[in-house]
Structure 1
Amino acid sequence: MLSRITRSFLRSRLITFRGYSTIETKEVLLKENENKGIPFVRKITEELEKKDIKYILPIHDNELMLKIAKPFDYLTKIGMKPEFILDACLYDPLFMKVMVKNGDLVIKILDILVEMTCMTYENAIRLFTVYKDDLLAVDSNSIISRLQVFINVGINEGEELCKVVCKCPVILFSGDPMQSTILLESLANFFTRNQIKAIVKNSPQIIFKNFEEIEEKYEYIYFLMGIESEEFKFCKTWVDMPLDEIIKRHEFLMKCGRYVTPDPKRLQLQKENPPLYRILDTNDNIFATQVGGVTVEEWYAYETLHEKMKELEKKDKPFERIKPSMRKAYERRIKKGLPKNDFIIE
């Protein structure tokens, strides 16, 4: 029989979290005198002993036992069902351990998650049990600083911030908030504030990326593909996709006649190209058949050819990089270098 917490997990937006626990649990009914204080803590340890998991508590030291029970009582006083807390401890016995050893810190972390993201305490516990070692290894104030990085770019506290955290929980304990802020501020060279907000909502892991790599991909997509900055906010994959993969897909579509580099001076002759998200966010099968108009086998054959050509060419740079300030000069140079055909009178 699935426990209460297990069933809740199946309905939870945090369902993608991995490795919650491998211990099977059965529903345990609590008596009225077992749902708080020292009796509640003892009930948890008794149920764990039935699973051959033994915690030795100072049961003869009433003052110390009250201190151990304090964080559990805090959770029940704010409205959490004691059955949920019991299930959490039985489903992940290490949660019981950290509550006993670092209960005050656990409560502080849970409070931060609830106050800043409007996450329920139940969901906050689900998240915490998956990342407890990482969350306990950082200062609780640094968690606030990391979340503040996202608030500073326009992500609202509450539901918006909750979605960002659920999408990429490691933002709570990884990275340097100062470096993350610098990277996001640097994106203002390419994007508007609203575009940056949309990109961060789609791909919060961008704060961990190297700015040079982000810049290089932006330059290729913007200058070589002729795609405007507005399209980046609808694409979820460009942040993580290697530049070589972007180039490969772009060149393949051009060879298939499915992509023509836009000419700003000849808009009336412009072919409608697939949007960036269709080019990069689709899997191999959809990309080949629906975007490229070929079979997936032909796409795989091109991938093999692309790798062989890359080995033969051994370029230091995958493409000629152009800074935004040099775009017009670059376009003039390309236009000037085009071969001129003789004018023949027939």
Structure 2
Amino acid sequence: MASSIAMRQVGRIARYTIFQPQLCVPRRALSSPAENSPLNQGPSAELSLRGLLDMGFTDTQAEHIYETVYKSRGGNTAKNTLCTLSTLIVLGLNPSSVLKLLEKCPELYTVKEARLQQRIANLRKLGLLEGSLQRVVAHHPQILIIKRKVINNAVMFLKEKCLFTSQQVTDILRDSPAIIQEDLAQIQFKFQYVYFRMGVKQAEMVKSRLFRFSLDEVRNRHCFLERRGLYETPDKKGQTTIINPKLSNILNVDQDMFVTQVAKASVEEFEVFQRLMAREYEEEDHWGDLENIKQIAPPPKKLRIDTA
């Protein structure tokens, strides 16, 4: 139903814009004293205020989009903008969401329709279906300006180097889409730290949304617990003498709750600890290399994929 409505909206804007030699201005704009405004003189036949209004944008939103395009690169940008707006609305995003998306990622104004469609199709192929796809695009629109090859390389990296299953990779993309723009070596370093040093398996990493957090955040909280005797690196058999808190309980809480409920300490203690850790990081040249982690907790002969 939503798609059919969106298609009708796109059809209306096509009729109003493609064959329209002059800009259609709403009554409020016609009555405005600013007759020399760029909004009233735009030469583009591909993009008009009337068309934007027919797509569901308010007067203010339509003027904002048109002015942004007008101040941009002119005709070619206007053509790309119309295609981009149509594609995003057909995707199921409402006009307010589309405007916020463009404000987060103005590069989308210049993306060609064919490339945009290809990238959306690729995300669907990777398992981001209706609902999940819209949320990812709305919260991290930059994923639509990244080449398919870059995204697919990151996906293969997560599967081959970190041994996540296909479904786990889809969950990571859905919950932490910004991972696509991270350096692959840093992703691997974070994975290795949590896997070897903390003894956490892939399923728990995904459940805790590990890749939303920087390695600084992860290590600070883990080491604080460890030095207070509240976290222990598992032995080769995965056993510990204490019950370690779950990774989600360590990461998915605000600082105050982490300190008081998980670490059983004061905020002041944790703040001092973080400053000391920052000094240690500098002395160790950002924590040394991966071999240091492996020496602390030697890996098993072969990592096994956690499918739980």
TM-score by length of 1: 0.67
Distance 1:48 1:108, change over 3 A: farther
Partner of 2:97: 123
Question: Contact (CA 8 Å) 1:200, 1:206: kept in 2 or not?
Answer: yes
* 1:271 paired to 2:245: no
C-alpha distance in structure 2 between counterparts of 1:266 and 1:232, whole Å: 16
Q: Which residue of 2 aligns with 1:113?
A: 88
Paired residue type of 2:258: F
Unaligned runs of 5+ in 2: 1-19, 303-308
1:57 paired to 2:41:
yes
CA spacing shift, 1:266–1:207, aligned 2, 3 Å? closer
Cα separation, 1, equivalents of 2:35 and 2:262: 54
Q: 1:69 & 1:253 partners in 2: Cα distance? A: 57
Q: CA deviation at 1:53?
A: 3.8
In 2, the alpha carbon distance for the partners of 1:149 and 1:294 equals 47
Cα distance in 2 between the residues matched to 1:242 and 1:170:
19
Change (3 A) 1:87 1:223: same
The AA in structure 1 aligned to 2:249 is R
| 1:169–1:311 Cα change, 3 Å | closer
**Distance apart, 1:299 and its partner CA:** 0.9
Paired residue secondary structure (1:154): coil
Identity among equivalent pairs (%): 23
- Letter paired with 2:97: N
Q: What stretches of structure 1 of length at least 5 have no aligned partner? A: 1-36, 59-63, 331-346
User: Is the 1:244–1:318 Cα contact (8 Å) retained in structure 2?
Assistant: no
Q: What do you get for the CA RMSD once the two structures are aligned?
A: 3.6
Rounded to whole Å, the distance in 1 between the matches of 2:273 and 2:105 is 45
Deviations 1:102-147 (A, max 9, x none): 54432211222133x322345334533x257411232222222333
Alpha-carbon spacing, 1:124–1:270, altered in 2? closer, same or farther (3 Å): same
1:304-343: per-residue Cα shift (whole Å, max 9, x none)?
22233444455642762549xx82259xxxxxxxxxxxxx
1:199 aligns with 2:177: no
What is the CA-CA distance between 1:243 and the residue it aligns to?
A: 2.7
Given the superposition, is the C-alpha separation of residues 329 and 320 from structure 1 closer, same or farther in structure 2, using an over 3 Å criterion?
farther
Q: Out of 176, 196, 210, which is 2:183 matched to?
A: 210
Q: Per-residue deviation at 1:251? A: 1.7
CA distance 1:41–1:69, shift in 2 (3 Å): farther
Show the 5 A alignment for 1:1-346. 40-41=24-25, 43=27, 45-47=29-31, 49-50=33-34, 53=37, 55-57=39-41, 67=45, 72-73=50-51, 76=54, 80=55, 84-90=57-63, 94-95=67-68, 97=70, 101=75, 102-115=77-90, 117-121=91-95, 123-128=97-102, 130=103, 133-156=106-129, 158-173=130-145, 175-189=146-160, 190-236=163-209, 238-263=210-235, 265=237, 267=239, 270-314=241-285, 316-317=288-289, 320-322=292-294, 327-328=299-300
Asked if the contact 1:279–1:291 (Cα under 8 Å) also holds between the matched residues in 2, the reply is yes
In 2, Cα distance between the equivalents of 1:86 and 1:134? 23
Q: Which amino acid aligns with 2:185?
A: E
CA shift, 1:95, in A, is 5.0
**Structure 1, 188-197 or 301-310: larger mean CA deviation:** 301-310
What amino acid is the match of 2:50?
Answer: F
Counterpart-to-counterpart distance in 1, 2:159 and 2:25: 52
Structure 2: distance between partners of 1:295 and 1:51: 62
- Aligned residues of 1:146 and 1:177 also touching (Cα < 8 A): yes
User: Which TM-score applies when normalising by structure 2?
Assistant: 0.74
Contact 1:260–1:271 (8 Å) recurs in 2: yes
- Mapped partners of 2:46, 2:151: distance in 1: 37
**Judging changes above 3 Å, is the alpha-carbon distance between structure 1 residues 49 and 234 closer, same or farther for their aligned structure 2 residues?**
farther
Per-residue deviation, residues 21-67 of structure 1 (Å, max 9, x unmatched): xxxxxxxxxxxxxxxx7694263642554598454538xxxxx89x4
| Structure showing greater relative contact order (alpha-carbon pairs closer than 8 Å, 6 or more residues apart) | 2
Are the equivalent residues in 2 in contact too, given 1:41–1:69 (CA < 8 A)? no
Say which SS state the counterpart of residue 328 (structure 1) adopts.
coil
User: 1:208 Cα deviation (Å)?
Assistant: 0.9
Give, in angstroms, the shift of residue 187 of structure 1. Answer: 0.7
Contact 2:159 2:166 (8 Å CA) reproduced: yes
Compute the displacement of 1:181 (Å): 0.6
